[in-house]
Structure 1
Amino acid sequence: MKKVLIIDDAMFMREALKISLRKNGFEVVGEAENGIKGVNLYKALKPDIVTMDINMPEMDGMGALKQIINFDSKAKIIIVSALGQEVQVRRALLNGAKAFIVKPFKEDYVIETLNKVAAL
């Protein structure tokens, strides 16, 4: 069972992802509402996959992405972000993210994407 860390400032989004992931055989090992907590949880939990929003308080997803990749260059991070942030998502991919999912998301696409990234 693949371990997933969810980093998103919106509790409803974390809950929606958690429900979808658990229903489809993933283990959600942690949640964080900002990039600082997300980076610290990544280091402590060493999950197989991270889902991460871009716009968050304290430290945004771009800052957290860079710190996690610096800590673990093999980190498998999937950006989950709103369509209006496409430019930032592309930048995230250039900085080490493995995929992006546009909000609002479809459960089937989330699971398909996580399975593909898990297989990398």
Structure 2
Amino acid sequence: MSKNEKKRILVVDDAAFTRNMLKKIINNTTYTEVVGEAENGEEAIKMYKQLKPDLVTMDLVMPIKGGIETIEDLMKLDNNATIICVSALGQEALVLEAAKKGAKDFIQKPFKNDQVKDVLDRILVNNK
């Protein structure tokens, strides 16, 4: 991957508002772009296979297939998958479970632009 190529991100959340907020923040950096959106885990897995993104933001509480199960499935599909959990306060047990399943970091809802950018920097810039 060349230095000028942006990191490709898949945003997974059942709330369109949250997806749009994340998309706006992610697309506003110089090194990331949203390449796909999914509103549940089943869509996320299909899109991951098609798009092969560099990073996935994953809501933990969704209909059809929740975040924990989706993280498990994505890690089976690609044990190098980079997944960041996006979850509300009070869901600490879910966040810990997600970390055990392979999630690399966590963004707490409601989030601010700087919080999202800090996590992206930590995962995509400092670790790569």
TM-score range, shorter chain: over 0.9
Partner Cα distance (1:111, 1:2) in 2: 13
2:28 — aligned with what?
23
Counterpart among 2, 8, 20 of residue 3 in structure 1: 8
Q: Could you tell me how far 1:49 is from its partner in structure 2?
A: 0.5
Q: Could you tell me how far 1:118 is from its partner in structure 2?
A: 1.5
Partner Cα distance (1:46, 1:118) in 2: 15
2:92 — aligned with what?
86
Partner Cα distance (2:42, 2:25) in 1: 25
Structure 1 stretches of 4+ moved >6 Å:
none
Q: Could you tell me how far 1:102 is from its partner in structure 2?
A: 0.6
Larger radius of gyration: 2
Partner Cα distance (2:37, 2:101) in 1: 22
> Cα RMSD (Å) of the superposition?
0.8
Deviations 1:10-62, CA, capped at 9 Å, x for gaps: 00000000001111131100000000000110111000010010110100001
Equivalenced residues, count: 120
Q: Structure 2 length normalisation: TM-score? A: 0.91
- The gaps in structure 2 that reach 5 residues or longer are 1-5
- The gaps in structure 1 that reach 5 residues or longer are none
Deviations 1:80-107, CA, capped at 9 Å, x for gaps: 0001111100110011000011100111
Partner Cα distance (1:22, 1:82) in 2: 22
Partner Cα distance (2:51, 2:110) in 1: 27
1:67 — aligned with what?
73
* Matched-pair contact (CA < 8 Å) for 1:34–1:58: yes
* Matched-pair contact (CA < 8 Å) for 1:76–1:118: no
Partner Cα distance (2:25, 2:18) in 1: 11
Q: Structure 1 length normalisation: TM-score? A: 0.97
